[in-house]
Homo-oligomer: A and B are copies of this chain.
């Protein structure tokens, strides 16, 4: 009860996932819709552990121990381990989607918008390293089958949003004509690579000005 929701909240970063945000379909707790600290602890520790060892690598015993509770308490808040997992995934993806939409709709030159898109990715990954790690582990083991969420469609939509921005750039003459989808894949891939590097060693990637550098290099090209 004394220490509640720190540890994810980083310093200069305000886009972390707060469990108290708009929830996706789960039984509401109590008449006043405050979220119990215990439930938050469960989500936080489960996220951390799932990210570290994958779904099958973590037992509910481990989760409840980390959260300082017992198993029935976890099952009081979540119907199953699987749905706890699903909840975390859906919450993470939902939060990121909203951040990305904001970046895509941002005003400014094409370059600035691309920088904003890049920055949103990097910031989100930095502030929600565990969630980010978790989503990746879902993507690459086919535990995707486990989670009741069309991940392919989700990422296709994200790519489509970026491709649309690039297509606008072609219309305005900022981007040379070509296949917006292919270009979006390239842009997404580059961003992704730095996220991966950050996940494996946060200190190895200096966030300072990275988005600008990446976008400028991509626009100019590597050729002399």
Q: Which residues of A contact B (CB under 8 A)?
A: 51-57, 133, 136-137, 139-143, 152, 166, 173-176, 178, 182-183, 185-194, 196-197, 199-201, 213-214, 217-224
Contact = CB atoms under 8 A, between A and B. Distances in A.
A109 to B, nearest CB: 12
A201 B155 CA distance: 13
Contacts of A182: 213-214, 217
Contact of A176 (B166, B193, B223): B223
Contacts of A200: 139, 152
Nearest to A110: B223
A115 to B, nearest CB: 13
B218 A186 contact: yes
Contact of A142 (B53, B174, B196, B213): B53
14 contacts: A53-B56, A53-B141, A54-B137, A54-B143, A56-B56, A174-B224, A175-B224, A176-B222, A178-B217, A189-B189, A189-B190, A190-B190, A192-B192, A217-B221
Secondary structure at the A interface, as helix, strand, loop or mixed, is helix
Contacts of A197: 185
Considering the complex of A and B, which 6 residue pairs feature the smallest CB-CB distances, nearest first?
A221-B221, A189-B193, A56-B56, A54-B141, A219-B223, A136-B140
Contacts of A218: 186, 221-222
A166 B221 CA distance: 13
A193 B186 contact: yes
A62 to B, nearest CB: 12
B222 A219 contact: yes
B185 A189 contact: no
Nearest to A220: B221
A170 to B, nearest CB: 8
Contacts of A187: 222
A128 to B, nearest CB: 15
Contacts of A133: 140
A196 B195 CA distance: 15
A190 B199 CA distance: 18
A221 B178 CA distance: 11
